[in-house]
Amino acid sequence: MKPLNILSIPGDGIGPEIMEATLPVVEKVLTDAGVSYEIAHAKLGGQALDEYGFPYPDETKALAQAADGILFGAIGGPKWDKMPRHLRPETGLLAIREDLGLFANFRPATIYPELVSASSLKPELVSGLDILIVRELTGGIYFGKPRAIEEREGERVGFNTMIYSESEIRRVAQVAFDAASKRGGKLCSVDKANVLEVSQLWRDVVEEEAKNWPNVELTHMYVDNAAMQLVRAPKQFDVVLTSNLFGDILSDAAAMLTGSIGMLPSASLDVNNKGLYEPVHGSAPDIAGEDKANPLACILSAAMMLRYTFNLSEQADKIENAVSKVLAAGYRTGDIAGQEVGEKLVGTREIGQQVLAALS
Ligand code: NAD
């Protein structure tokens, strides 16, 4: 069998530290399972700007296009904040997502029993929480044209276009129905169909697609109500499907329900389940190089890669179980510490080594 083709892009800030803790975990589960793999390395964002003068250089593009699964740390930092927009680290991330056609963004919001008290909500509201937000990532108002700021009748006017084609809605809906069919069997599609035509089409197409998924219970919710329900009674949701803009906002709100941004993985997939896997957090320049970063979101992103791109659910489970064991044993990085007695405060390297040890 062809070896799995994995690309590692550590990025900037804490990216290299969390990647250093993650790769040995991936290598161990694959080696233990007798699966052959190759891991290439590439630069994106600030590091790439420094070396190549572009945030998404051709060298990285070629490796990214050839890879099946891409594991990414984070990009950005104050050093590059004043660069023009096309030479900003973030432009590199948008470019790779667009180049690879990564239209479906998966953001699970799962809470570990040991971290329930880190949530801003009452324990009974979040205990056992397990939501998956599926966000459309390459369309909608973030990419729609026309878009501009221009002069009209003596004043500046800014405008963007919220646009979705039927096929864009259908392909992300299919991914979300499929995910719901493999989880709790419930899909809530979030839109603003009472006001926006683009949302009415969204709702119509999702309804049509539902006929192909008789085992999934479909509901619809307006985005304003969804925001309220997420903080009122989040456990009512299983899978949430929504557009680029609404998903951007709702997934951050869902992330905070779990208490720590250092625990949240994500996946962005193309039509063939090729994917870019990354923690939800940024490059945390305030703690970079200090061995303080929590690598668990990156490690859990690697587990998602094994599950969604490589169909290695058993190996993904092994990584997730190892993370649970490490938390249950009381190991904590600073961002998740201070909840319980008997915790052991450790750094990035040590918690990574504990996950590795828990795999044995
Ligand atoms: P951030 O997520 O980097 O940091 C926010 C806060 O959370 C900081 O206090 C940080 O120390 C903490 N934090 C984040 N990840 C952590 C981890 N793994 N362990 C422990 N603590 C952690 O967000 P920000 O400060 O708004 O942005 C910093 C830089 O990251 C900016 O340049 C921004 O553009 C970039 N950014 C990149 C991505 C990405 O690469 N996908 C996403 C968001 C922000």
Q: Which pLDDT tens digit goes with each residue over 203-228?
A: 999 999 999 999 999 999 999 999 99
Is a pLDDT exceeding 90 seen at residue 11?
yes
Beta bridge partners of 189: 220, 241
Domain boundary among 211, 236, 257: 257
Residues 298, 252 share a domain: no
The answer on pLDDT for 339 being more than 80 is no
- Residues 93 and 146 placed together within one structural domain of the fold: no
Q: CA angle 234-267-314, nearest 5°?
A: 90
The pLDDT value given to residue 259? 76
pTM attached to this predicted model? 0.91
- Report yes or no: 12 and 19 within 8 Å, Cβ to Cβ: no
Q: Whose CA is nearest to atom 12 of ligand 1?
A: 284
Residue 329 forms part of a structural domain? yes
Q: pLDDT tens for residues 153-174?
A: 999 999 999 999 999 999 999 9
Which residue minimizes the CA distance to atom 44 of ligand 1? 282
Instruction: State yes or no: is 252 an active-site residue.
Output: yes
- The answer to the question of residue 151 being in a domain is yes
Do 216 and 317 lie in one domain? The reply is no
Q: Residues 64, 7: contact at Cβ < 8 Å?
A: yes
Q: What is the pLDDT of residue 164?
A: 98
Concerning whether 37 is annotated as a catalytic residue, the answer is: no
Q: What separation in Å is there between the alpha carbon of 345 and the centre of ligand 1?
A: 21
CA dihedral 172, 178, 180, 183 (to 10 degrees): -140
Residues 134, 248 within the same domain: yes
Residue 210: the pLDDT is 98
Shared domain for 304 and 360, answered yes or no, is yes
Per-residue pLDDT averaged across 39-43, rounded? 98
pLDDT tens-digit readout, 307-326: 999 999 999 999 999 999 99
Do residues 246 and 271 share a domain? no
What is the amino acid identity at position 311? Answer: N
The count of other CB atoms within 10 Å of the CB of residue 203 is 17
Point out the catalytic residue in the list 130, 178, 222, 252: 252
Residue of 14, 102, 260, 281 with the most ligand 1 atoms within 8 Å of its CB, for mutation: 281
Q: What spacing in Å lies between the alpha carbon of 33 and ligand 1's midpoint?
A: 34
Q: Say yes or no: 55 and 98 in one domain.
A: yes
Rounded Cα distance, 25 and 13, in Å: 21
**Ligand 1 touching residue 263 (CB < 6 A):** no
Query: Ligand 1: which residue has its CA nearest to atom 20?
Result: 293
Nearest CA to ligand 1 atom 5: 284
Decide if 117 is inside a domain. no
* Whole-number pLDDT of residue 252: 86
Arithmetic mean of pLDDT, 141-145: 93
Is 118 a domain residue? no
262 CB less than 6 Å from ligand 1?
yes
The reply to whether 317 belongs to the active site is: no
Let me know if 286 is a catalytic residue. no
Catalytic residue among 37, 52, 142, 222: 142
pLDDT band at 330 (very low <50, low <70, confident <90, very high): very high
Ligand 1 neighbour 92 (Cβ under 6 A): no
**pLDDT at position 268 over 80:** yes
Q: Of 190, 224, 257, which closes a domain?
A: 257
Domain range for 67: 1-103+264-360
| Average pLDDT rounded to a whole number, residues 113-137 | 92
Q: Provide the pLDDT for residue 120.
A: 85
- What pLDDT does residue 139 have? 94
Percentage, residues of the chain above pLDDT 70: 100
Nearest CA residue ID for atom 36, ligand 1? 282
Q: What is the pLDDT of residue 180?
A: 97
**Continuous segment of H or E residues that includes residue 159:** strand 155-159
Q: Tell whether the model's pLDDT for residue 270 goes beyond 90.
A: yes
| Residue 104 contacts residue 139 (beta carbons within 8 Å) | no
Answer whether residue 114 is part of any domain.
no
Nearest CA, atom 37, ligand 1: 282
| Ligand 1 pocket, residue 105 CB under 6 Å | no
Q: Is the CB–ligand 1 distance for residue 287 below 6 Å?
A: yes
Q: How confident is the model at residue 328 (pLDDT cuts 50, 70, 90)?
A: very high
In a domain, 19, yes or no: yes
Determine the atom of ligand 1 nearest the C-alpha atom of 76. 32
At residue 338 the predicted structure's pLDDT band, cuts being 50, 70 and 90, is confident
User: Contact 309/271 with Cβ under 8 angstroms?
Assistant: no
Phi, psi of 166 (to 5 degrees): -55, -45
Indicate whether 231 and 269 sit together in one domain: no
Q: What is the dihedral of CA 285, 286, 292, 296, to 10 degrees?
A: -50
Q: In the structure, what pLDDT confidence band is assigned to residue 236 with cuts at 50, 70 and 90?
A: very high
Residue 298 CB less than 6 A away from ligand 1: no
For the chain, how many structural domains are there in total?
2
Interatomic CA distance for residues 39 and 3, integer angstroms: 10
Residue of 97, 264, 283 best suited for mutating to test ligand 1, as the one with most atoms within 8 Å of CB:
283
CATH of the domain at 229: 3.40.718.10
Residue 273 and residue 248 in one domain: no
* Secondary structure class of 153 (helix, strand, coil): coil
Atom of ligand 1 nearest to the CA of 78: 32
Residue whose Cα lies nearest atom 42 of ligand 1: it is 282
Q: What is the mean pLDDT of the chain?
A: 95
Chosen domain end from 233, 257, 281: 257
pLDDT at 1: 78
352 C-beta closer than 6 A to ligand 1: no
Cα 214 to averaged position of ligand 1 atoms, centre (Å): 40
Claim to verify: residue 244 and residue 303 sit in the same structural domain: no
Residue 120 lies in a domain: no
User: Active-site residue 248, yes or no?
Assistant: yes
Q: Quick check: is 123 in a domain?
A: no
pLDDT digits (tens, 9 = 90+) for 272-298: 999 999 999 999 999 999 999 999 999
